[in-house]
Amino acid sequence: MNDAGKDSRELSMVLSTLRFGTPEASYDSVYVVQSGKFRYVNPQFAAVGGYTEKEMLGMESVSLIHPEDRQKAKENALKMLKGESTSPYQFRMIAKGGSVQWIQETVHAITYKGKRAVLGNSMDITVQREAAEKLQEFQAMQNALLDALPIAVTGMQARRIVLANHAVEDVFGWKPEELIGRSTRVLYRSAEDYEQIGKSVYRALKKQRTFKTEFPCRRKGGKNIICLVSVARIGESLQDERIIAAYEDITERKRAEKALEESERTLKALLRSYQK
For 250-269, the pLDDT digits (tens) are 999 988 888 777 777 777 76
CATH of domain 3-130: 3.30.450.20
* Radius of gyration from C-alpha coordinates of the chain: 32
pLDDT at residue 2 is higher than 80: no
pLDDT at residue 23 is higher than 50: no
Helical ranges in 22-62 per DSSP H: 43-49, 53-56
Q: What does the pLDDT read at residue 21?
A: 42
Compute φ and ψ for 153, nearest 5 degrees: -130, 130
CATH of domain 149-258: 3.30.450.20
The domains of the chain are located at 3-130, 149-258
How far is it between the farthest Cα atoms of the chain?
125
Q: What does the pLDDT read at residue 165?
A: 93
Q: What does the pLDDT read at residue 120?
A: 93
> Judging by DSSP bridges, how do beta strands 152-157 and 210-218 pair with one another?
unpaired
Fold match, 3-130 / 149-258: yes
Compute φ and ψ for 212, nearest 5 degrees: -130, 135
pLDDT at residue 52 is higher than 60: yes
For 85-131, the pLDDT digits (tens) are 989 999 999 999 899 999 999 999 999 888 999 999 999 999 999 88
